[in-house]
Amino acid sequence: MASRQKLLVVGGGYVGCDVARRLDQVMDVTLVEPKPAFLHAPAMIRALVEPDLLTAATIPYDGLLREGRFVRGRVAALHSKGVTLEDGTEIASDFTLVATGSSYNLPFKSSAEDIEVFLDAHRTLSDRIAQARHIAIVGAGPVGTELAGEIATARPDVQITLIAAGPNPMPDLPERLGRALMNRLHRLGVKVITHRTAPGIAAGMDAQDGPLGLSDGQDVAADLVLPALGAIPCTDLLSALPSVRLDGAGRVVTDAWLRPAPGALPGLLAGGDMAATGDAMTIVGTLRQTPYLTKTLRAAAKGKPIDTQTPYRPWREAPMLVPVGPRLGATHLPLPGLLALAGTMRGPGDTLTRLTKGRDLFVGKYRRLLGAQRFKGSRG
């Protein structure tokens, strides 16, 4: 019996875990990741006000692969025959998928190898939120909007101010979604200041003490400021290759088959937040990439050259589910007419978002993917 082709997956995030699991019985799979556990980012928002969720959303990698292996380590260099880890270990591969994702300020994501650093930071911020009387959140994208909703639901006694650079939350998506989210936030008592930025707050910054100065000279008298200004692609491993380029957003440019260096390393693919696939840096973006990468690598393992396969096509218009606490929320559906409208309407939109995402934030799904015990759900 011929030996199976070797697949090395670098990065244990949404793309890396899913592709590794799907190909576990097809290829000889090795997953390399410096952390011992998967951190389910959306649940980390609610866990700030529901601390018991922190344990459920921290899922060890031990149960992910049945036939392959998980190696805890950090890749120092890529080469034509595999990778070299920082400790000098060589891991051979026929194909390598790099999916190192993105970073976000603590405690929403962590790049630290010591997971206790992340967990301690999360607990510390949870305590600060519990003691705060006025919280300002800078950034009205998915993280900022969901964070405002979770805190407002759990702590209705706290004054919450959300700073939005545009006219509504989620300004890059249809206005109908932004208006629906604004309605939900107002129902929870959140004050939304639109068309403002906070010059002293930048992406990647951790929580700050208040007050908060805005771009119009106004001060928000908050005692706790939470930045939520977006993710930063983790591209160091690939950008060290001479043939790799970054786009204007700092993401790795790929060819039509998601290969960042097809001339030098034709068996190297990239996916997730760090790759300029045409998808936004969201979990929804990865849901389109993982089936494609799985199908492409499965065919490549059988001898079909990657560049003779179907090119990748990103979402033409991706759906977006935005819980505003465990019971409210709105959803953008790339569907015609009333079907799309239903996702944002009061009542139908809340129910759809709650049942699809808001109830358990997909914690159950990812615990099943990683072979962990069942999660019974949260306060939603």
The string of pLDDT tens digits covering residues 10-69 is: 999 999 999 999 999 999 999 999 999 999 999 999 999 999 999 999 999 999 999 999
Q: What is the pTM of this model?
A: 0.93
pLDDT value at residue 339:
62
Sheet holding 95-98, edge to edge: 69-72, 28-33, 6-10, 95-98, 268-270
Residue 116: per-residue pLDDT:
87
> Lowest mean pLDDT: which of 123-132, 195-204, 214-223, 356-365?
356-365
pLDDT digits (tens, 9 = 90+) for 155-193: 999 999 999 999 999 988 889 999 999 999 999 999 999
Work out the average pLDDT over 371-378: 73
**Residue pLDDT, tens place only, 310-351:** 999 999 888 999 999 999 999 998 876 666 677 788 877 889
Instruction: Report the Cα 148 to chain-centroid distance in Å.
Output: 18
> What is d(CA 30, CA 24) in angstroms, rounded to the nearest whole number?
9
pLDDT confidence tier of residue 207, bands split at 50, 70 and 90: very high
- Tell me what pLDDT residue 114 has: 80
Residue 341's pLDDT is what? Answer: 73
28: nearest Cα among 49, 50, 7: 7
Give the integer Cα–Cα distance in Å for 129 and 151.
Answer: 8
The residue type found at 380 is: G
pLDDT score, position 154: 97
- pLDDT, residue 61, reads 96
- Do residues 158 and 152 lie in contact, with contact meaning Cβ atoms separated by under 8 Å? yes
Confidence of residue 298 (pLDDT cuts 50, 70, 90): very high
The two tokens of residue 294 are 């799985």
Q: What's the sign of the alpha-carbon dihedral 219, 222, 223, 226?
A: negative
Residue 76 has pLDDT above 90, yes or no: yes
Q: CB atoms < 10 A from the CB of 85, how many?
A: 17
pLDDT mean over 94-117: 85
* Average pLDDT of the residues in 300-309: 96
The answer on pLDDT for 112 being more than 90 is no
The reported pLDDT for the residue numbered 336 is 63
CB of 192 closer than 8 Å to CB of 140: yes
Q: Which amino acid is residue 127, in one-letter code?
A: D
pLDDT of residue 215: 97
**Confidence tier at 1 by pLDDT (50, 70, 90):** very low
Query: Hey, is 83 helix, strand or coil?
Result: strand
Q: Residue 111: pLDDT above 80?
A: no
According to DSSP, the β-strands at 328-332 and 219-220 are unpaired
266: Cβ–Cβ under 8 A, 6 or more apart, which residues?
259, 306, 307
Q: What is the mean pLDDT of residues 143-148?
A: 96
Residue with tokens 């930045």: 227
Tell me how far CA of residue 189 lies from CA of 12, 157, 162, 273, 326, in angstroms.
Answer: 38, 9, 11, 33, 15
Q: Would the pLDDT of 380 be above 50?
A: no
Residue 32: partners with Cβ closer than 8 Å, 6 or more residues away: 8, 9, 10, 11, 12, 71, 72, 73, 74, 75, 83, 85, 91
Report the pLDDT value the prediction gives residue 58, as an integer from 0 to 100. 95
* Mean pLDDT, residues 245-262: 97
Separation between Cα atoms, residue 180 and residue 358, nearest integer Å = 16
